[in-house]
Amino acid sequence: MTHYDVVIVGGAMSGATLALALEKMNQDTLSIAVIEAVEPKLDQHPGYDSRSIALSSGTSQLLQDIELWSDIDSFSTPINHIHVSDRHHMGLTELTSKELNVDALGYVVELTDVGLFYHQKLMNSHNIELFCPASVVDIKRDVSSSTLTLSTGEVISTSLIVAADGAESKTCNIMNIESENNDFQQVAIIANVTTSIHPHGKAFERFTEHGPLALLPMSQGRSSLVWCVSPEESKQILGYDDDAFLEHLQRAFGWRLGQFIKTGKRAHYPLWLRRQKQYISHRFAAIGNAAQTLHPIAGQGFNLGIRDVFSLAECLTKAHRSEGDIGEYRVLSEYQKRRQSDQIQTITMTAGLVSIFANNSFPMVIGRNVSLRAVDMFRSFLKPLTLRAMGRVNR
């Protein structure tokens, strides 16, 4: 039975970044295994319908620190301008990278591109063993190590298991880690759209009576749409043909990008705030969406998870350099302690924005529009929120 210092369950961006960060920080002295259930299809690309994710400025800097960003940057689309508005009301504000003196406020990457990049990096690593396609079917823990049985029949052992397998983490379930769940009573509708005016690096957050609507600039003049609506409204919207959908979207968003002229396939998923009651246990830690899943408003969830990744990597590296046991509860407690403040503040900010901007009571509408106008007039109000949104926070 092969033993690894760290076994990471989940080889998407969070899990793969952790593996590569540990390899870089420890100069190949840690043995690492990554278990990933889905093997990418190297010869297929969803084309127009490729899903995307927004990386904050802070995330790009962290990836640069471990020499990954230059490759990812080659297929990213920078966000240089963010426009925030409230439909049917006067409140709006704008933010530019020039005003903040940064290269970009964030970046949009397509998941297919970034997935292939990470898969190839893991495959080419001499110090990381990639089990793919494979999943974990059983875990047994004792004092000094844990044993994992894989769907392939292989059995491996490790000093530390890291769950990086997404919002409904099977690993956390096997470990009997309980979660706290809050149903936002909203559904996110996802699609790529094309407008008659090229977005040219401009992102939009539009608050409507049904929920927030975000457009992120993508390659080839497309925009990535995330539209949060009530479950009842989602059924109606998902039933539309393309023309009816574009017309409905046009009414909700307006004409700042001209006419909506094309849409791809629509996907949807219910929105929850899920948070594990504990992020660590005996020889176990959770990162990214396996630790907490946020509402997509302000695009904080994935970037919060990347800060989990680097904090855990630094704690493990510190223990390894002092010849300690990286799976000890003392080491994992340091990780949990480091992450608590950032996690609480980001979750609170995100949930607060949902409660403010998805509530159409008259006092709330007046309050948020006054706030948007104040932010637009007095730019110093914007700095703390902007720094957190950009991932420029202590971790």
pLDDT tens string 220-269: 999 999 999 999 999 999 999 999 999 999 999 999 999 999 999 999 99
State how beta strands 155-163 and 2-9 pair.
parallel
Q: How many CB atoms lie within 10 A of CB 18?
A: 29
Mean pLDDT score across all residues of the chain: 91
**What's the pLDDT band for 364 if we cut at 50, 70, 90?**
low
Quick one: DSSP state of residue 379? Answer: G
**What's the pLDDT band for 378 if we cut at 50, 70, 90?**
very low
299 or 7, which is more confident: 7
Whose CA is closest to 284, among 6, 12, 18?
Answer: 6
| pLDDT tens digits along 317-333 | 999 999 999 999 999 99
pLDDT over 70, % of the chain = 91
Domain 2-45+111-180+274-355: give its CATH code.
3.50.50.60
DSSP code string of 192-256 = EEEESS--TTEEEEEE-SS-EEEEEE-GGGEEEEEEEE-HHHHHHHHTS-HHHHHHHHHHHH-ST
DSSP H helices in 9-68 = 13-25, 57-65
Whose CA is closest to 225, among 241, 237, 236, 239?
Answer: 237
Residue 375 has pLDDT above 50, yes or no: no
- What is the Cα–Cα distance from 320 to 330, expressed in whole angstroms? 13
87 or 180, which is more confident: 180
Provide CB contacts within 8 A for 95, sequence distance 6+.
Answer: 81, 82, 84, 105, 382, 386
> DSSP 3-state assignment of 328?
coil
Rg of the Cα atoms in the chain: 21
- CA dist list (Å): 23 to 209, 267, 279, 290: 47, 36, 23, 22
Torsion angle of the four alpha carbons 83, 85, 88, 91, in this order, in degrees rounded to the nearest 10? -120
| pLDDT tens digits along 258-314 | 999 999 999 999 999 999 999 999 999 999 999 999 999 888 999 999 999 999 999
The residues with which 54 forms a beta bridge, in sequence order, are 108
The residues with which 130 forms a beta bridge, in sequence order, are 34
Residue 87 has pLDDT above 80, yes or no: no
Instruction: Please report how many Cα atoms fall inside a 13 Å half-sphere around the Cα of residue 112, on the Cβ side.
Output: 11
- CA dist list (Å): 13 to 75, 185, 323, 390: 15, 28, 28, 18
- What is the Cα–Cα distance from 6 to 326, expressed in whole angstroms? 8
Query: What does pTM read for this prediction?
Result: 0.92
Is-contact 160 284, C-beta < 8 A? yes
Token look-up 């040219």 returns 200
Residue 388 has pLDDT above 80, yes or no: no
Tell me which of 88-102, 103-117, 217-231, 377-391 is least confident.
Answer: 377-391
- What is the Cα–Cα distance from 125 to 141, expressed in whole angstroms? 28
Whose CA is closest to 9, among 125, 152, 172, 118?
Answer: 172
Angle of helix 329-357 versus helix 362-377 axis, rounded to 10 = 110
- CA dist list (Å): 173 to 43, 114, 235, 298: 34, 28, 31, 29
What is the domain partition of the chain in residue ranges?
2-45+111-180+274-355
Whose CA is closest to 269, among 252, 288, 289, 254?
Answer: 289
Q: How far is CA 200 from the centre of its chain?
A: 23
2-31: average pLDDT: 97
- What is the Cα–Cα distance from 26 to 197, expressed in whole angstroms? 48
Structure token pair of residue 19: 């593996």
Whose CA is closest to 314, among 72, 57, 24, 60?
Answer: 24
**What's the pLDDT band for 198 if we cut at 50, 70, 90?**
very high
